[in-house]
Amino acid sequence: MTDKTPHTGTRPRLSETSIADGNAQGEWLRAVIPPLRDLVRTSRDDRLIERVGREAGVRVPTHLVLALTRIGDFQPVRLSDLADQMGIGRTTLSRQVTDLVAAGLVERTPDPADARAATLELTPAGAETLRQIWDAWGSLIADITNDWPTLERDLLPELLSRLTQGLQTLAEDL
């Protein structure tokens, strides 16, 4: 079971106390990692994804939004490659793709490199739905950060990109 609520107990979480003790970097990491963990968890919270869908005016079940997004990011993409990239089973993803195809958001086309396989791409309706979802995310984030100092707003994209690039490099080296 995943804890979707912020930690409010008086005892620190194990993940917070396990981070390197006894030096300035350990203190900094204890300050950075919990909010980063919470950002990732919160961004995948079904309630938030449902709100984004409502604000976008689209009706895509929350369990299909990530698959739709990833297909949009990597299209044309084979189901097996997409499952590997998403870290989920092919059977699970196949069911999700079947639902997205039935909804008219994704199409399967024969893979020109391998007639036994198919590639996945967004339909025009799928691309428009995804655009609406991203617009809604953008509006929500803009609202949340609207009263932030300009310097903090300007630095956030650069810092998040640098952190993401560092983590991607580590993942690619595995």
The predicted structure's pLDDT at residue 166: 92
- The domain at 60-128 falls in which architecture? Orthogonal Bundle (1.10)
Q: What is the pTM of this model?
A: 0.76
CA distances for 77 relative to 64, 91, 113, 133, 169, angstroms: 16, 16, 12, 21, 22
Summarised one tens digit per residue, pLDDT across range 56-107 is 999 888 889 989 999 999 999 999 999 998 889 999 999 999 999 999 999 9
Place of tokens 């640098």: 162
Summarised one tens digit per residue, pLDDT across range 17-67 is 656 666 677 778 878 888 888 998 898 888 998 899 999 999 888 889 989
Q: What is the largest CA-CA distance in the chain?
A: 59
Tally Cβ neighbours within 10 Å of residue 20: 11
Closest by alpha carbon to 67, among 39, 99, 45? 99
Domain ranges of the chain: 60-128
Amino acid 139 reads S
Beta-bridge mates of residue 109? 119
**Mean pLDDT to the nearest integer, 114-137:** 93
Closest by alpha carbon to 75, among 50, 100, 45? 100
